[in-house]
Amino acid sequence: MTSTASGNGSLNTTDDPAPAVAAPARAAGAAVPVLSARRVAVAFSSGTGLAGGSGTARAVDGVDLDVGSGEIVALVGESGCGKTTLARLLLGLERPTAGRVLFEGTPLRYRSRDLRAFRRRVQLVQQDPAGSLNPRRTVYESVAEGLRVHEGTTADESDRVGRALSRAGLRPPERFLAAYPHELSGGQRQRVVIAGALVLEPEVLVADEPVASLDASVRGEILRLLLELRADLGLSALVATHDLGLAWNIADRVAVMYLGRVVETGPVEEVLAAPAHPYTRALLSVLPDSGSAPVVLAGEPPDPKRVPPGCRFHPRCPVLASGAAEHAGVADRCRTEDPGVLEEAPDASARRSACHWVAAGAGGRIRPPDHGDRKH
103 binds, among Mg ion, ligand SF4, ligand ATP, none (CB under 5 to 8 A by kind): none
Give the binding-site size for Mg ion (rule: CB under 5 A). Answer: 2
Of 189 and 316, which CB lies nearer to ligand SF4 in the complex structure? 316
44 binds, among ligand ATP, ligand SF4, Mg ion, none (CB under 5 to 8 A by kind): ligand ATP
357 binds, among ligand ATP, Mg ion, ligand SF4, none (CB under 5 to 8 A by kind): ligand SF4
Q: What's the min distance (Å) between Cβ of 48 and ligand ATP?
A: 11
Alpha-carbon span 9 to 221, nearest angstrom: 47
**Residues near ligand ATP, by CB under 6 A:** 1, 44, 57, 59, 77, 79-85, 242, 304
Q: Which helix (H) or strand (E) holds 237?
A: strand 236-241
**Residues near ligand SF4, by CB under 6 A:** 278, 311, 313-314, 317, 319-320, 325, 334, 339, 355-357
325 binds, among Mg ion, ligand SF4, ligand ATP, none (CB under 5 to 8 A by kind): ligand SF4
Of 260 and 278, which CB lies nearer to Mg ion in the complex structure? 260
With a CB cutoff of 8 Å and minimum separation 6, the contacts of 367 are 291, 292
Contact 207, 227 (CB under 8 A): no
Of 21 and 239, which CB lies nearer to Mg ion in the complex structure? 239
204 binds, among ligand ATP, Mg ion, ligand SF4, none (CB under 5 to 8 A by kind): none
What are the DSSP calls for 116-142, one per residue?
HHHHHHEEEE-S-HHHHS-TTS-HHHH
Of 1 and 30, which CB lies nearer to ligand ATP in the complex structure? 1
Handedness of CA 340, 344, 346, 352 (dihedral sign): positive
Q: How far is CA 245 from CA 76, 208, 223, 374, in A?
A: 10, 15, 11, 9
Amino acid at 22: A
Give the DSSP letter of residue 214: S
Residues linked to residue 258 through DSSP beta bridges, in sequence order: 261
Of 57 and 239, which CB lies nearer to ligand ATP in the complex structure? 57
Contact 36, 345 (CB under 8 A): no
Q: What's the min distance (Å) between Cβ of 136 and ligand ATP?
A: 28
Binding span for Mg ion by CB under 5 A among 20-28, 79-87, 159-167, 347-355: 79-87
Contact 259, 307 (CB under 8 A): yes
Is 241 a binder of Mg ion (CB under 5 A)?
no
Q: What's the min distance (Å) between Cβ of 85 and Mg ion?
A: 8
Of 77 and 363, which CB lies nearer to ligand ATP in the complex structure? 77
Q: What's the min distance (Å) between Cβ of 251 and ligand SF4?
A: 23
57 binds, among Mg ion, ligand ATP, ligand SF4, none (CB under 5 to 8 A by kind): ligand ATP
Of 184 and 197, which CB lies nearer to Mg ion in the complex structure? 197
Is 84 a binder of Mg ion (CB under 5 A)?
yes
Contact 346, 371 (CB under 8 A): no
Q: What's the min distance (Å) between Cβ of 78 and ligand ATP?
A: 7
Alpha-carbon span 183 to 198, nearest angstrom: 22
Alpha-carbon span 28 to 12, nearest angstrom: 32
Of 36 and 84, which CB lies nearer to ligand ATP in the complex structure? 84
Binding region for Mg ion (CB under 5 A): 83-84
